[in-house]
Amino acid sequence: MIKYQAVVFDLDGTLTDSAPGILAGARFALETMGRPVPEEAVLRRFLGPPLMDSFTRLCGMSHEDAARAQDIYREYYNHTGALQNAVYPGVRALLAGLRQAGVHLGVATHKPLAPTMKILKAFDLLRYFDLVAGPELWENPGPTKGELILRALPQGLRAVMIGDRATDLEGARQVGVDSIAALYGYGHPEEFAPFRSVGLAHSVRDLYGLLGLSEQAPRPCFISFEGNDGAGKSTQARLLAQRLRQNGHDVLLTREPGGTAVGEKIRDILLDRANNDMDDLTEALLYAAARAQHVRQVILPALKAGRMVISDRYVDSSLAYQGGGRGLGIPRVRQINAPAVEGCMPDLTVFLSLPPGEGIRRAVRSREADRLEAAGDAFHDRVAGAFRDLTAEDSRFIVVSSEGSKQETAELVYARVQERLTALGLP
């Protein structure tokens, strides 16, 4: 049974691993001011306390110099450092579970409100929280941690504060709120000794028991990328995997044909231009064989473990290339692949739209065309037509133009995928 009506989280070291951006910002400020940069162990003490305290206490700065260092740090952090960050694995599922249980969720952080909101929005965490409390840049003196906790809480609720530093627990004690020390963050066990915390969380998973929340197995999700050759599938699949990992998802990135030792050997055969006399049916069967190995050895085990799977191509490529391009027919290729996939179909498929001629030009710009890329314009036009039919008939497809820059396309893909994940009820 859930123990609290409200849970307030610290941000850095509790929800997200923001150390790379914070440490980079501190180094930048010190170097800009011509100050020596302390060793890593000392620099890491910047993680948690207010910046002014860190610059004065750790670097021996006057109040005036510390204020200047703080301004330099914030300029760097607001432009670059805030997104040098990652959500701790398991945080997203925990927040989703608490929301489902009807718990009020808040954030109380000494990080200024503007970068706090930027981080929560960028990593798609803001939707879980009812109140976010952080100091405004013009507040002088800034609020205590206890005051921030109260800002993040409606009155009268049984509440707990979760944070990774002694300042978090001290703030909770000052305002009569229970506390949990997040030992997976930046603090040290000895700094929590003076506090009678509810418990010590060595991992995000430990928080379930301390909060009285039942841990649910993560809902697996299968995403595939499709498109004509040269549309940027491999690049965009990789960029999406990176972004989702930063957001706290456990992501397996794989590809077809390939993804296994057997599949990679089949891939070499299929794409080798020396095999230009390969029968069309043989080609379709080889793709299905590689897929059968891929599904059983890689995809299904990952999904059963609750992981998110992103595959650069899947069965839709066979339907378009062998069914449409080679003229075998989509129903026949579906039948060939039925025992290979055994009903394991993607939850959503990102189709990158690009005119086939432009795609081929992109694909062979810096290398020789493989066997399929060299199949001719008529073949690729038939493939494009088959993909148009597939995307029109199945709602799992997300169609995204890849005619823009790599980064523009990545932002479009991420936004559309996040929309779909939310609609699917995934954390």
Sheet with strand 221-227: strands edge to edge: 251-255, 308-312, 221-227, 348-353, 397-401
User: Encoding tokens for residue 296?
Assistant: 């059983």
| Burial class of residue 10 (count of CB atoms within 10 Å of its CB; 0-12, 13-18, 19+) | buried
Sheet with strand 159-163: strands edge to edge: 131-133, 104-108, 6-9, 159-163, 178-182, 199-201
Q: What is the pLDDT of residue 45?
A: 84
* Phi and psi at residue 405, to the nearest 5°: -70, 165
Q: How far is CA 79 from CA 84, 87, 110, 122, 199, in A?
A: 10, 19, 19, 13, 37
CB 344 within 8 A of CB 299: yes
Q: What is the pLDDT of residue 369?
A: 74
Residues of the chain with CATH 3.40.50.300: 221-423
Superfamily of domain 19-83: Putative phosphatase; domain 2 (1.10.150.240)
CB 11 within 8 A of CB 186: no
Q: What is the pLDDT of residue 359?
A: 58
pTM of the prediction? 0.77
Fold (CATH) for 221-423: Rossmann fold (3.40.50)
Whole-number Å distance between alpha carbons of 284 and 326:
9
Per-residue pLDDT for the chain (427 aa), expressed as one digit of tens each? 899 999 999 999 999 998 899 899 999 999 999 999 988 888 888 887 788 888 998 888 998 999 999 999 889 988 888 888 999 999 999 999 999 999 999 999 998 898 999 999 989 899 999 999 999 866 667 899 999 999 999 989 999 999 999 999 999 999 999 999 999 998 888 888 888 777 899 999 999 999 999 988 778 899 999 998 888 999 999 999 999 999 899 999 999 999 999 999 999 999 998 998 999 999 999 999 999 999 999 999 999 999 999 999 999 999 999 999 999 999 999 999 999 999 999 999 999 998 766 756 665 565 677 788 778 889 989 999 999 999 999 999 999 999 899 999 999 999 999 999 888 877 7
Q: Which of 241, 254, 274 is nearest to 314 (CA)?
A: 254
Q: What is the pLDDT of residue 9?
A: 98
Q: What is the pLDDT of residue 388?
A: 95
- No. of helices (H) and no. of strands (E), the chain: 18, 11
Does the domain at 6-13+90-211 match CATH 3.40.190.80? Answer given as no
Q: What is the pLDDT of residue 345?
A: 96
Q: What is the pLDDT of residue 137?
A: 67
Residues of the chain with CATH 3.40.50.1000: 6-13+90-211
Q: How far is CA 299 from CA 119, 197, 296, 349, 377, in A?
A: 32, 42, 6, 15, 33
Q: What is the pLDDT of residue 238?
A: 97
Residues of the chain with CATH 1.10.150.240: 19-83
User: Encoding tokens for residue 235?
Assistant: 């690049």
Q: How far is CA 212 from CA 90, 98, 237, 330, in A?
A: 16, 10, 37, 51
One-letter amino acid of 9 = F
Q: Which residues contact 161 (CB under 8 A, 6 or more apart)?
A: 8, 9, 10, 108, 149, 168, 169, 171, 172, 177, 178, 179, 180
Residue tagged 């189709």 (tokens): 351
Residue tagged 């960029």 (tokens): 239
